[in-house]
Amino acid sequence: MRYKENMEQSIHDIAKHMVAKGKGILAADESTLSCNKRFAVLGVPETEEMRRQWRQLLLTAPGIEEFLSGVILYDETIRQQTDQGVPFAKALQNKGIIPGIKVDQGTVDFPGHRGEKITQGLDGLAGRLQEYYAMGARFTKWRAVITIGESIPSQECIQKNAEILAEYAKVSQQQGFVPIIEPEVLLEGDHTIEKAEEVTTNTLKTVFVEVQKAGVDLQGLILKSSMALSGKDCAEQASSQQVAEATIRTFKNSVPKDVAGIVFLSGGQSPRQATENLNGITRLGPHQWPITFSFSRALQELVLDLWRGDPAKVGQAQQAFLKRLRLNAAALAGRYTLDMEEK
């Protein structure tokens, strides 16, 4: 069923559209700082206009509606328009893609807990959501970060982030949005996959205790999760089969069956690694929740490298974007192979 903005839809309806079979969600919600850092590496001018052109390249690429159910936007992006003067949110709606919005305001140090962060942005959230709703957004996203290191994460940090995520989700649903909660266990570090599984399981269990305590409607809620991965500096890197088994085991031990769906962040994995691991997870199915991708860099990295701010390269870059979407759609069907990267 195609998403139509003029339909009266419940958050349950919207959540179902967001995890429609064979489609994923593009995370195009990089902050201005993060986007500029990527531009700087490639020599792209770090201006609002170049950020608009980059987002336009992605959001107006012909055919993306075959592979995307939703796109997470950033505050700057939802206020921008195409060259033809069409707001980006409306351009997505015209393709049958649901616009969403990142609503957290970044992380700050967790007092008394060295090396740990909590996420801010609850102040004034309801008012901001009302504005975003008028702009066409129908789902929200909030990211918390959990770091694995010496003596961390602390249970206090996990608990505080869980409480904040629950409050954000509750306010979002009250304003008519489907919330995506994203408690990301970071890839940085030399931890084993076993440690990642342990921390992710504990984090998700803690989050869902608080989410249910807050009265959040699980059927109108999406989980955006890390996969269970070896730390990027770990001497022994887990195989895609090991990642798949550990990840699904984590979910079975921590995620309530009523949650509307689970989407994966790529979290610093290479495009190929993220797609290969997604494929491995799919092949262990069927699962009790709809499972799909919500990648950022794993979809955009090669595309940005091709474009580099050159208007003449837009078409070529859009084709590269469609290829990555197609490969991840194949992974959702368990049909991805490395040979497909070369075709």
3-state secondary structure of 69: strand
Tokens (6 digits) for 338: 């490395």
Judged against a pLDDT cut of 50, whether residue 6 lies above it is answered with no
Judged against a pLDDT cut of 50, whether residue 7 lies above it is answered with no
Establish whether 102 is a catalytic residue: no
Establish whether 4 is a catalytic residue: no
Q: What's the rounded mean pLDDT across residues 295-312?
A: 97
- pLDDT score recorded for residue 343: 80
| Mean pLDDT over the full length of the chain | 96
198 Cβ contact partners less than 8 Å away, ≥ 6 residues apart: none
Annotated active-site residue in 160, 170, 224, 276: 224
pLDDT tens string 314-329 = 999 999 999 999 999 9
pLDDT tens string 169-184 = 999 999 999 999 999 9
| Percent of the chain at pLDDT exceeding 90 | 96
C-alpha 342/C-alpha 311 separation (Å) is 25
pLDDT tens string 135-151 = 999 999 999 999 999 99
8 Å CB contact between 88 and 55: yes
What pLDDT band is residue 5 in, cutting at 50, 70 and 90? Answer: low
pLDDT tens string 224-282 = 999 999 999 999 999 999 999 999 999 999 999 999 999 999 999 999 999 999 999 99
Annotated active-site residue in 163, 182, 184, 197: 182
Stretch among 7-16, 42-51, 324-333 having the lowest mean pLDDT: 7-16
What pLDDT band is residue 1 in, cutting at 50, 70 and 90? Answer: very low
| N-term to C-term CA, the chain | 31
Top-level class of domain 11-342: alpha beta
8 Å CB contact between 287 and 256: no
Best CA proximity match to 28, nearest among 67, 71, 81: 71
| Overall pTM surpassing 0.85 (yes/no) | yes
Q: What's the rounded mean pLDDT across residues 294-315?
A: 97
What pLDDT band is residue 8 in, cutting at 50, 70 and 90? Answer: low
C-alpha 229/C-alpha 222 separation (Å) is 21
pLDDT tens string 210-229 = 999 999 999 999 999 999 99
**Domain spans, the chain:** 11-342
- For residue 339, with 0-12 CB atoms within 10 Å meaning exposed, 13-18 middle and 19 or more buried, which class applies? exposed
pLDDT tens string 113-170 = 999 999 999 999 999 999 999 999 999 999 999 999 999 999 999 999 999 999 999 9
